[in-house]
Amino acid sequence: MIETGTLWTVIIVLGLGSFGLRFVFTGLVGDRAMPDWLLRHLRYTAVAILPALVAPQVVWPVATDGVFDIPRAAAATAALLIGLVTKNVLMAVLSGAVTLYGLLYLIG
């Protein structure tokens, strides 16, 4: 059982801390110019962080207790490839979904 006091401490401090992390640059730097070297790194934030977030879930899915799964790996590949080729997010999501359900149905 989680104690009520602990729970509310966690909710409030985690809320404040998360807001702090989200606000630290937009809030404190604002419209002041940032150095070129930093901007050059920040241009790659999205294309580095999100694939890094997803990669372990693709290779070791939680749903299969971390066992490599062909339908899931194929679905991720399909979403990425169709996204690269068509530049269309919705098409990419749909191809990923069709691949996933198709292979789950065929392979089980």
Residues in region 48-107 near other proteins by CB under 8 A: 48-63, 71-72, 75-76, 79-84, 87-90, 92-93, 96-97, 100-101, 104
CB of 106 to other proteins, least distance (A): 14
Report the residue number, 37 or 106, with the smaller CB distance to other proteins.
37
2 binds other proteins (CB under 8 A): yes
Size of the site for other proteins (CB under 8 A): 76
Task: Dihedral sign for Cα 84, 86, 89, 93, please.
Answer: negative
Residue type, 58: V
Q: Where do runs of H (alpha helix) occur along the chain? A: 4-28, 36-42, 45-59, 70-86, 89-107
Query: Which of 77, 71, 59, 78 is CA-nearest to residue 105?
Result: 71
Rounded Cα distance between 92 and 99, Å, is 11
Q: Rule CB under 8 A: which of 3-32 touch other proteins?
A: 4, 6-15, 17-19, 21-27, 29-32
CB of 35 to other proteins, least distance (A): 12
